[in-house]
């Protein structure tokens, strides 16, 4: 399966520093995880949402390949803080290297993926070279 991660151009696609410093829907602060999206368009939409109308620094998008025989756990939608508690337990218990979660950005009709870089199977997840991503200027008009 191919998923997509949007990240800073100077950051490695598997850099989990941001999740360690800032909490997210599926993890509390102090937890190393990596978020990816089911589609490139969802990765773009998630980035725009999280920018909150602020200027978006230069970005890259990277294709990530999750092997078909790698176990993926799925989580049902839940509100915070329950989702953060669930994600923290999932990481600590090392139940799988990948957690499929619903994306609220598209009314839970598509999925995001949370990767656990400390899981033994994480080493099996590969990625392509990052590609510079330039936002269509019409997206930025939406935030004005």
> 2 is written with which tokens?
């191919």
Under DSSP, is residue 47 helix (H, G, I), strand (E, B) or coil?
helix
Q: How far apart are CA 116 and CA 32, in angstroms?
A: 7
Unique residue bearing structure tokens 């049902």: 76
CA distance linking residue 28 with residue 39, whole number of Å: 25
- What pLDDT does 139 receive? 64
Burial annotation 10-49 (CB, 10 A radius, 16+ → b, else e): eeebebbeebeeebbbbbbeebbbbbbbbebebbbbbbbe
Mean pLDDT of each 10-residue bin along the chain, 144 residues long: 95 94 95 97 88 80 97 96 97 97 87 97 98 78 48
Model pLDDT, residue 124? 98
Cβ contact 102:111 at 8 Å: yes
Listed by start position, the domains of the chain span 2-141
Let me know: does 65 contact 1? Beta carbons within 8 Å: yes
Rounded to two decimals, the pTM is 0.90
Classify the C-alpha dihedral 3-7-9-14 as positive or negative.
negative
Residues 25, 49 contacting (CB under 8 angstroms) = no
């Amino acid at each position: 399966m191919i998923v997509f991660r949007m990240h800073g151009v100077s950051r490695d696609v598997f850099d989990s520093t941001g999740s360690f410093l800032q909490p997210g829907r599926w993890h509390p602060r102090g937890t190393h995880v990596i978020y990816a999206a089911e589609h490139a368009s969802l990765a773009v939409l998630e980035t725009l949402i999280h920018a909150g109308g602020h200027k978006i620094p230069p970005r890259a998008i990277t294709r990530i390949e999750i092997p078909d025989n790698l176990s993926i756990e799925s989580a049902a939608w839940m509100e915070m803080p329950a989702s953060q508690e669930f994600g923290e337990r999932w990481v600590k218990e090392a139940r799988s290297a990948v957690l499929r979660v619903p994306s609220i950005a598209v009314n839970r009709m598509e999925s995001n993926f949370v990767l656990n870089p400390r899981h033994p199977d994480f080493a099996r997840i590969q990625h392509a070279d990052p590609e510079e991503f330039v936002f269509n200027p019409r997206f930025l008009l939406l935030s004005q």
